[in-house]
Structure 1
Amino acid sequence: MATTTVALVQAGGMTDDLAGNLAALSELITAAAAPDASGAVPDLIVLPELCTTPYFCGGDGADRADWAQPVPGPTTGTIGALARELGCAIAFGMFERSPEGAFHNSVVVLGTDGQPVRWDGADGSTPPAYRKLSLPRSVVGGVSIDEQRYFSPGSVPATVELGGVRFGCVICYDRSFPEYWAVARTLGATVMLAVVSSLGTRETLFLAELQTRALESQMWVVAVNRGGPETLDGSTVDYFGLSCVIAPDGTIVAQAPAHRTGPVLRCTLDLDAVTAARTGLPLGRDRRPDVLRLLADLTAPTADDPGRAA
């Protein structure tokens, strides 16, 4: 049986003391990497979106450009040293400044050698991070969010290979776009990382939405959300957590508590379950690429769709 073991760290409560945040994350990572009864450590530890900083993307928030870092850089160096010491790969969200000077909401994967693993973009590119594709500008639970002010969007979906397992990735808002999941599956992904900082009304359907995405894509879903209250510039927001692991048939296998900072989930994924799901319900065989092309052709800004960017 082919397996991979993941540990989910529901981090939260970050402050503008970035060194203190890294120290707190290091303690959580070390706890998540503790050997089990057989002496084994997880293959991969996963942390939430923008986990090295507070979530700072309020519509009227301050400019935080000085928080952005390159990949590789000081933050990847600190967490990479832990990956090397603990013998675990680590995936985490961070505020990235690209070599070209663009800012991205990104997920970095560090291998057991402590170095960033290159991603495989759908266009043949090999970026050092997965960069969030869809950037929200909205009001959620009374909180104004404007990521378009702070980040440039990523160019294409991307996957990454670790230990013979291919992982896809979505960051928070990306999870609501089924086409990103479909591309990751087509690129060979059998596990999707959903790296999240979500709050407010999105809690109601968080698990159900991810179960649906798992069933549609027939991949394992490893979803890690920020958890608990976090205060920045005098404003406190409560992130709902509910980090979870969902099987390729949509079954919730493990779930962290709501609104709590620090819980760790550990789960071994049976990768043969992906093959079983896709054989039993051959959605890939029955997909209609011609309809997807039709959707692309029909997609254009329209006056009667106020949610569509012009």
Structure 2
Amino acid sequence: MTENGNFKRRVRARAAKTGESYTTALMQMRRAFTKDEGPEIKRLRLAVAQTRCYDDPRDIAGLRESGREMRGLMRQAREAGARLLHFPEGATCAPNKRIMSAIGPGEIGPSDWRRFEWAVLREELDQTRSLARELGLWVVFGSVHRLTEPHRPHNSLYVVSDRGALVTRYDERLLSNTKISFMYTPGSIPVTFEIDGIRFGCSLGMECHYPEIFSEYERLDVHCVLFSTTGGSPPNEPSFGAEAQGHAATNSYWVSFSMLTYPGLEGQPASSGIVAPGGRWMAQCPADGVPAISLADIDDNPDDLSRPWRRKARSGLYDPHRVEGDPRSDGRDMF
């Protein structure tokens, strides 16, 4: 009886995650059990963070505090059994366009990157990497990536392994008007990496508005996209969270949604969280603007049938069944 009850709970959990009916989920799980050897399910505990916005790169105390805040959340995530912790865009510092403007703050112009306390940022990054190694925790976080002058920096996501090594870096590709006009150099390629058989893709900034970014990662066979943002404009733009749910549902993969918070801002309609392949929130941080983490056990979704079907549907499956010409002009009644 206990075994049967456990099986039913697994069926309900699958239905909740994928959006299938209970009957469909039951059929798929029974089909998997009839095979001699089903696919091995790969799992990973993912933590997503929300952190306070520190937007003045001249403020040494602020840079230090953002580093301490990140490392405190890293310890919480490891204590909770997380394998990977995902931070927002600009977790180390999200430079304010007016503070950076060479002709500001009243007017927005080209950013003066000499105002950034780069040495302090480097020290904080080194401490974060060292703690990742100490904890045995993978960490993905947003930071400005300095380039040689006269090139503007990248707006980036750093991927640091559980050994404290910088594994790869994603640079935001589709920038806002202000970012491309006055602040950053755009990136050019998608970035993927793998932990324990789970494949991740990276996205950043306002790229949630561009479905082509997320469909590209579906073609690259990722199981989860890590999307980091400052929260849009105005801060905590609610459409970003809804779009994250849509991308997860249409591409049948997990989406981790990590954003900055703005304590004191009235109405925080969005918060960091993890969306399942069916488009439902599996975990969310508090909507009160307090720095926090939320966790979910994600997997490679081996029983999913929607991704292979959608790929088949896009490959010309329907072409032999189409009627040549416009069927509305064949002289017959429409009803």
TM-score (norm 2): 0.69
Tell me what 1:60 maps to: 108
Contact 1:249 1:277 in 2 (8 A): no
Contact 1:107 1:131 in 2 (8 A): yes
- The 5 Å alignment of 1:68-217 reads 73-98=122-147, 101-118=151-168, 129-137=169-177, 145-198=178-231, 199-200=233-234, 203-217=237-251
Instruction: Give 1:203 shift.
Output: 2.5
Q: Which moved more, 1:108-117 or 1:5-14?
A: 5-14
Cα distance in 2 between the residues matched to 1:83 and 1:259: 27
Tell me what 2:260 maps to: 226
Q: Secondary structure at the match of 1:184?
A: helix
Cα distance in 2 between the residues matched to 1:10 and 1:40: 16
Contact 2:66 2:91 in 1 (8 A): no
**Greater helix share, structure number:** 2
Cα distance in 2 between the residues matched to 1:200 and 1:106: 21
* Structure 2 residue identity aligned to 1:211: Q
How many residue pairs match? The answer is 263
Instruction: Give 1:177 shift.
Output: 1.0
Contact 1:50 1:93 in 2 (8 A): yes
Contact 2:97 2:111 in 1 (8 A): no
Instruction: Give 1:163 shift.
Output: 3.0
Candidates 306, 309, 325, aligned match of 1:282: 309
User: Over residues 31-70 of structure 1, what are the superposed CA-to-partner deviations in whole Å (9 max), with x where a residue is unaligned?
Assistant: 443377xx66311111110111144235727835133869
User: Over residues 5-37 of structure 1, what are the superposed CA-to-partner deviations in whole Å (9 max), with x where a residue is unaligned?
Assistant: 11112001325324543444334433443377x
Instruction: Give 1:208 shift.
Output: 1.9
Tell me what 1:34 maps to: 76
Cα separation, partners in 2 of 1:113 and 1:23, compared to 1, 3 Å: farther
Report the structure number with the largest CA radius of gyration.
Answer: 2
User: Over residues 217-269 of structure 1, what are the superposed CA-to-partner deviations in whole Å (9 max), with x where a residue is unaligned?
Assistant: 11100010101249xxxxx9997651110001111111223350302112211
- The 5 Å alignment of 1:223-302 reads 223-229=257-263, 241-258=270-287, 260-272=289-301, 275-279=302-306, 282-287=309-314
Cα distance in 2 between the residues matched to 1:64 and 1:98: 13
Contact 1:6 1:266 in 2 (8 A): yes
* Structure 2 residue identity aligned to 1:159: T
User: Over residues 87-121 of structure 1, what are the superposed CA-to-partner deviations in whole Å (9 max), with x where a residue is unaligned?
Assistant: 10110001111368441000001011111003xxx
Contact 2:42 2:197 in 1 (8 A): no
Cα distance in 1 between the residues matched to 2:205 and 2:44: 23
User: Over residues 190-224 of structure 1, what are the superposed CA-to-partner deviations in whole Å (9 max), with x where a residue is unaligned?
Assistant: 11001011142872323221111111111100010
Tell me what 2:103 maps to: none
Cα distance in 2 between the residues matched to 1:224 and 1:212: 16
Percentage of pairs with the same residue: 25
Q: Secondary structure at the match of 1:210?
A: helix
Cα distance in 1 between the residues matched to 2:246 and 2:314: 16
Tell me what 2:33 maps to: none
Cα distance in 2 between the residues matched to 1:11 and 1:64: 25
Q: Secondary structure at the match of 1:213?
A: helix
Cα distance in 1 between the residues matched to 2:55 and 2:240: 25
Tell me what 1:306 maps to: none
Contact 1:159 1:169 in 2 (8 A): yes
Cα distance in 2 between the residues matched to 1:237 and 1:96: 32
Instruction: Give 1:164 shift.
Output: 2.6
Tell me what 1:124 maps to: none
Cα distance in 2 between the residues matched to 1:45 and 1:35: 7
Cα distance in 2 between the residues matched to 1:13 and 1:35: 20
* Structure 2 residue identity aligned to 1:169: C
* Structure 2 residue identity aligned to 1:167: F
Cα distance in 1 between the residues matched to 2:60 and 2:221: 36
Contact 1:256 1:265 in 2 (8 A): yes
TM-score (norm 1): 0.74
Q: Secondary structure at the match of 1:109?
A: strand
Cα separation, partners in 2 of 1:288 and 1:239, compared to 1, 3 Å: farther
* Structure 2 residue identity aligned to 1:249: G
Candidates 27, 48, 70, aligned match of 2:88: 48
